Amino acid sequence: MADTPTPSVAPSAPTLRRSHPLASREEDLRALTGGSVGVRPHLAMAVVRAAVPGPAARAAEDVLGTALPTRPNTWAPAAPGGGGEPGAVVWLGPDEWLVLADEPRPEALEERLRAALVPVGGSAVDVSAQRMSLRLRGAHARDVLAAGCAVDTHPAVFGAGTSAQTLLGQAGVVLLSRSDAGDDYEVLVRSSFARYLADWLLDAFVEHRGAEAPRDPAPDPVRPTTGGATP
């Protein structure tokens, strides 16, 4: 105890490796869905509370470079944060929004918003670790969602820029539509439900596996047989 001198420097300093709740599912998702379901890890997220119209809402709009969407079930693209993909501002309630941003340091999003919002009566809280982002793409994205989501996702009513906070496979999700063709969705799910939902998506995808590739043509009964006598 006391007689063993503690080394001042550890022989090999342990390094912290950044991980996320879907690290164990990324490979399966890629392989089993043909890349139709992708994971967007380490996305910066913040919840903004502000009265609209008001100084706090205007301050948020200055930081985000877009108007806060005031229509329920909508989202708006926001200025890129740390130089990555454009972010998003999602309507969560009449005075509540979820901001998504591609930031190398997730806390930076909260810091930028707080600095602008708090002096004028708004609030911004970092919720980056609260949810995971899954991206569903392809012709069967809608069918997969329909297996466990009651919201009408037809592009006529759920085109690009619409969103829904609802249940998918009984897990609470924020669903964003990113296309007018009904083939590109972003699913934000709470981290503790992420592995469950990834497994649920893999299961829902089974019936569509390989469907993206052209199938073997079914034997056509009326097609004349080439080079043979007609039966």
CB-CB contact of 22 with 41 (8 Å): yes
Q: Least CB distance from residue 149 to another protein, whole Å? A: 10
Q: Least CB distance from residue 128 to another protein, whole Å? A: 20
Residue (33 or 73) nearer to another protein, CB: 73
Q: Least CB distance from residue 168 to another protein, whole Å? A: 10
Q: Least CB distance from residue 91 to another protein, whole Å? A: 8
Contacting residues toward another protein, per CB under 8 A: 72-73, 92-94, 150-151, 164-167, 172
Which of 223, 142, 224 is CA-nearest to residue 183?
142
The helix/strand count (H/E) of the chain reads as: 5, 10
Half-sphere exposure of 11 (CA within 13 A, CB side): 0
Cα separation, 32 vs 88, whole angstroms: 28
Residue (35 or 72) nearer to another protein, CB: 72
Residue (39 or 50) nearer to another protein, CB: 50
C-beta neighbour count of 212 within 10 angstroms? 13
Q: Least CB distance from residue 76 to another protein, whole Å? A: 17
Cα separation, 176 vs 88, whole angstroms: 10
Residue (59 or 173) nearer to another protein, CB: 173
Residue (29 or 46) nearer to another protein, CB: 46
Sign of CA dihedral 91, 93, 96, 102: negative
**In 65-149, which residue ranges form alpha helices assigned H by DSSP?**
107-117, 141-146
Residue (103 or 186) nearer to another protein, CB: 186
CB-CB contact of 46 with 66 (8 Å): no
Tokens of 90: 């999602």
Q: Least CB distance from residue 125 to another protein, whole Å? A: 15
Tokens of 106: 């997730």
